[in-house]
Every structure is written in structure tokens, then in C-alpha cells.
Amino acid sequence: MSKSTENFRITNPIHFLALGFGSGLLPKAPGTFGTLAAIPLYLLLTPSSMSIYLTVVIAMSIAGIYICGKAAEDAGVHDHGAIVWDEIVGFLITMFLIPLSWQSVIVGFVLFRIFDIFKPWPISFIDKNIHGGLGIMLDDVIAGFAALVCMHIIF
């Protein structure tokens, strides 16, 4: 990763969350590893009711605006690659109301990563034009919804 991670402190609770429990600190493909870190959370939430799942994802999304914004400010880099809380939330959105199977997890993972990496419009517009914690979160939330639509078509 070309951007330094020296300003992050894994012992700082905000950084710990923003860095996806440390997964974002891996030197290659931090967004992919951040998305992988979302899978255990998805497995924990799957037995929950729809309302609990939705409440948790909304709370994580709202908290993510602060978490990602603060971590980016501390790092001195907008949307630093190591900040992967947004990927975690995006994957949880992707999997909303999708029946649990190893196939659905793999397809959801791949679809979310495709939308997150290639950023088709409007994701690219949001990524380029909305800054701060809201911008960091919003492009991945939209990528999650795009992948969610695909998942409901497939499953």
C-alpha cells in the first residue's frame, strides 16, 4: 500500500473499527480483506430477525460516518485504503434477506467487490464528489445496494 499506515493505532477503538478489526492493515487488497472480515458478522446476524439485522446495519452505517471520517482525519488521508469499515457495511447490505449458503456468501462477496472496485455510476460520482466520513461510507453503501439487487435477482 503506497499510503502510510503509521498514523493508525490499532489500540484506538475508532481506528480498530475503521481498520476492520485490523484487516485493513494487510499490505495487499485491504478492501478485499475488509470484506472478508464482514463474513463472520454476517454469520452472527443471519439468525436475527429482519428488523434486528436492519437496525444493526443502519447503526453501523451511521456510526461509520464518524468512524471513517475520524480515522481518515487522524491518518491525514481521505478514504485511506486501510479504512475498511465501509466495506464491512457494504457487504452486510449486499446480504440483506439473502438465504445463508456458502454459494450466496461467495456470490455476494464477488458482486460487492466488483461494484466497490469498478465503481459504476453513481458510485463513481459519489466517490469523487462527496468527502469526509459521509463520502467514505456512501459509495460503499450504494455499491452494497447495487450488489443486493443483483443478489435478489440471482437468489
| Domain assignment of residue 125, yes or no | yes
Taking only Cα atoms into account, the Rg of the chain, rounded to an integer number of angstroms, comes to 14
| Domain assignment of residue 128, yes or no | yes
Share above pLDDT 90 across residues of the chain, in percent, rounded to a whole number = 93
| Domain assignment of residue 7, yes or no | no
| Domain assignment of residue 3, yes or no | no
Across the range 80-88, mean pLDDT stands at 97
**Whole-number mean pLDDT of the chain?**
95
57 pLDDT above the threshold of 60:
yes
| Domain assignment of residue 88, yes or no | yes
What is the tens place of the pLDDT at every residue in 123-148? 999 999 999 999 999 999 999 999 99
2 pLDDT above the threshold of 60:
no
| Domain assignment of residue 130, yes or no | yes
| Domain assignment of residue 86, yes or no | yes
**Local confidence band at 56 (pLDDT 50, 70, 90 cut-offs):** very high
At 11, the amino acid letter reads T
Q: Choose between 2 and 70: higher pLDDT.
A: 70
Give the per-residue SS3 of the chain. Answer: CCCCCCCCCCCCHHHHHHCHHHHHHCCCCHHHHHHHHHHHHHHHHCCCCHHHHHHHHHHHHHHHHHHHHHHHHHHCCCCCCCCCHHHHHHHHHHCCCCCCCHHHHHHHHHHHHHHHHHCCCCHHHHHHHCCHHHHHHHHHHHHHHHHHHHHHHHC
At 82, the amino acid letter reads A
Across the range 77-101, mean pLDDT stands at 96
| Domain assignment of residue 124, yes or no | yes
Domain around 59: 13-154
Whether this prediction's pTM lies above 0.75 is answered by yes
What is the tens place of the pLDDT at every residue in 23-46? 999 989 999 999 999 999 999 999
Determine the pLDDT at residue 7. 87
59 pLDDT above the threshold of 50:
yes
- The residues, any chain, with a CB within 8 Å of residue 140's CB and separated by 6 or more, are 86, 87, 89, 90, 116
Q: How many structural domains comprise the chain?
A: 1
